Amino acid sequence: MTKSEDKIRNGLFADLHIHSRFSRATSKKINIENLEKYARIKGLGLLGTGDFQHPEWFKELEVLEERDGILYTSSEFPFIWQTEISLMYTQDGKGRRIHYVLLAPNKDVVKQIIKFLSSKGRLDYDGRPIFGFSSIELVDSMREISKDIEIIPGHIWTPWFGIFGSKTGFDSLKEAFQDKAKEIHAIETGLSSDPEMNWKISELNDKTIVSFSDLHSFWPWRIGREATIFNIDKEKLNYKDILKQIRENLILGTVEVDPAYGKYHYDGHRFCNFSCSPEETKKLKGICPKCGKPLTVGVEYRVEELADQDIEDNKNRKPYYKLLPLHELIALSKGSTLSSQKTWKAYNNLIEKFGSELEILLHIEKEELLKELPEDTKLVELILKNRKGEIKVKPGYDGVYGEAMLGEKQTKLI
């Protein structure tokens, strides 16, 4: 193992964009206990709290012990204060819908954020509330509260709620934030893009590219499916070091799914059961051949539309690991579903043997895998192919997840 690989293996894998059970379309079984349990199984060393401004969830978070801006459970698993909010407003004559991830340094600051947000609307109806003020006002208001609040545009390329999205986004951070663009230090790739796609945008050359799951349930095929790897001493974990690594691009790298896995990678219409590549969209002049209405333009098209440099021009590139979740690989190899007993049995056996999913996906040698799975060489082959990013995925589109391709067979990714 090289020194770089050893550093990655010992890095802090963090998923800092999650939701509580109080957010719309989330599992009602999301609680601190389940989040910790499956974060450990996944191989994560730090989670965001999600939804800290929701009054009921905030009460549950308050029982955790805070030290150096990090919240700890009774068994010492760490969380960081985090939420996501949705802004819906009009700027330059166009309706904007933008999602932001907020990180906060301590409970006192969180209480001030809650006070500000409550002055703008209700906080109890949804864990990801909607507000009518602008991105510029968000930056101004958070900076007035604390300069240690981090504002990260979430899943920046998704059509409807990404800051660069084709439907309600902007063409640049400068357009969105004007003279406040320098206050944005990082962007989140989202499932439908990866760092390489973002390297094509010169405005992002000095921004840290982070990845998180935006989970709506705690299952291993959700939690940590995308994560950021920090170069931090796990025994001396503190908010300021996390913030420094984000703001100064000191992270070790990221874990990504294949961007084709995402629900908005290609263009199309889900109700017409039609999808196509950006090249085909241009030939169609953006019109669905089935219903005659404008297609939902996806992430790949939008990236190419805004691309203004070769990826080599970005000198701050970090390594990233393109991985499908282990449950997906097991289900593919056995022709089963993600949550079937057959899949869970194989998954639990591997976790019991090797400790965590990310350890299996990234590091366990072929010989060790074959020793544990002597009659399942197909799964071993998939794990190794996955590690090299060699499992093809039929792209997702217009809210439909992608499909893994195994020979002639296609298995839907959930």
Q: pLDDT value at position 231? A: 96
Percentage of the chain lying above the pLDDT 90 cut: 94
What's the whole-number average pLDDT of the chain?
96
**Could you report the per-residue pLDDT of 136-177, keeping only the tens digit for each?**
999 999 999 999 999 999 999 999 999 999 999 999 999 999
Determine the Cα–Cα distance for residues 135 and 252; give it in Å rounded to an integer: 29
Contacts of 277 (CB under 8 A, 6+ apart): 266, 267, 300
Q: Per residue, what are the HEC states of the chain?
A: CCHHHHHHHCCEEEECCECCCCCCCCCCCCCHHHHHHHHHHHCCCEEECCCCCCHHHHHHHHCCEEECCEEECCCCCEEECEEEEEEEEEECCEEEEEEEEEECCCHHHHHHHHHHHHCCCCCCCCCCCEECCCHHHHHHHHHHHCCCCEEEECCCCCCCCCCCCCCCCCCCHHHHHHHHHHHCCEEECCCCCCHHHHCCCHHHCCCEEECCCCECCCCCCCCCCCEEEECCCHHHCCHHHHHHHHHCCCCCEEEECCHHHCCCCEEEECCCCEEECHHHHHHCCCECCCCCCECECCHHHHHHHHCCCCHHHCCCCCCEEECCCHHHHHHHHHCCCCCCHHHHHHHHHHHHHHCCHHHHHHCCCHHHHHHHCCCCHHHHHHHHHHHCCCCCEECCECCECCEEEECCEEEECC
Q: pLDDT value at position 6? A: 84
Residue 411 has pLDDT above 70, yes or no: no
Q: pLDDT value at position 407? A: 60
| Start and end residues for every CATH 3.20.20.140 domain found in the chain | 3-260
**Could you report the per-residue pLDDT of 206-217, keeping only the tens digit for each?**
999 999 999 999
**Could you report the per-residue pLDDT of 276-303, keeping only the tens digit for each?**
999 999 999 999 999 999 999 999 999 9
Residue 181 has pLDDT above 60, yes or no: yes
Bridge partners of residue 400, in order along the sequence: 397
Q: What is the mean pLDDT of residues 249-256?
A: 98
Local confidence band at 1 (pLDDT 50, 70, 90 cut-offs): low
**Could you report the per-residue pLDDT of 355-406, keeping only the tens digit for each?**
999 999 999 999 999 999 999 999 999 999 999 999 999 999 999 999 888 7
Determine the angle formed by the axes of helices 326-334 and 377-387, rounding to 10 degrees.
140
Q: Is the dihedral of CA 142, 145, 246, 48 positive or negative?
A: negative
Bridge partners of residue 88, in order along the sequence: 97
Q: What is the mean pLDDT of residues 75-96?
A: 98
Contacts of 233 (CB under 8 A, 6+ apart): none
Homologous superfamily (CATH) for 3-260: Metal-dependent hydrolases (3.20.20.140)
Q: pLDDT value at position 404? A: 86
